[in-house]
């Protein structure tokens, strides 16, 4: 199986045992996440009451690798702002898409609105 990119919503769905967890489990060995999305997942878990260290360890165990958000991805994420504006995508969302575009691999999300995106990356829903 080739590389796949996880949005923070996928990591959270996995960690919280939500719908789609069976599919997510099969993808984890080939999954990467941007540092931006890892920080986003960390913040959500900490807000829910998870201790920061435990939250981080859970996130790192949910993907094969956490990849730096680099200059190429920053440019892509900035460029996507107009195309994604109707869907109200955040910087974190665009960072995830940018990683998928930069690595030329599919992006997995739990956000159904992404299915309507036409930005040049293969978006797949986990539920």
Q: Summarize pLDDT for 35-49 with one digit per residue, the tens.
A: 999 999 999 999 999
Q: For the chain, which residues make up each domain, given as ranges? A: 4-125
pLDDT of residue 19: 93
Low-confidence ranges of the chain (pLDDT < 70): 1
- What pLDDT score was predicted for residue 44? 97
Does the domain spanning 4-125 belong to CATH 3.90.45.10? no
The pTM of the whole model exceeds 0.85: yes
| CA–CA gap between residue 97 and residue 42 (Å, rounded) | 19
- The SS3 assignment for 35 reads helix
Q: What local confidence, expressed as pLDDT, does residue 81 receive?
A: 97
The span from the CA of 38 to the CA of 11, in Å, is: 9
* Bridge partner list, 107: 5, 123
Rounded to an integer, what distance in angstroms lies between the CA atom of residue 34 and that of residue 97? 10
Distance of CA 113 to the CA centre of its chain: 14
How much is the mean pLDDT over the chain?
97
Q: How far is CA 10 from the centre of its chain?
A: 6
């Amino acid at each position: 199986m080739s590389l796949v990119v996880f949005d923070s919503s996928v990591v959270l769905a996995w960690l919280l045992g939500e719908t789609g967890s069976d599919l997510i489990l099969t993808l984890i060995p080939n999954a990467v996440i941007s540092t931006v999305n890892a920080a986003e997942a960390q913040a959500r878990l900490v807000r829910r009451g998870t201790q920061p260290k435990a939250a981080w360890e859970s996130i790192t165990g949910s993907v094969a690798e956490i990849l730096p958000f680099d200059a190429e991805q920053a440019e892509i994420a900035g460029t996507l702002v107009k195309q994604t504006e109707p869907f109200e995508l955040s910087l974190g969302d665009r960072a995830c898409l940018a990683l998928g575009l930069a690595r030329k691999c599919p992006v997995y999300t739990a956000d159904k609105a992404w299915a309507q995106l036409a930005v040049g990356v293969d978006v797949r829903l986990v539920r």
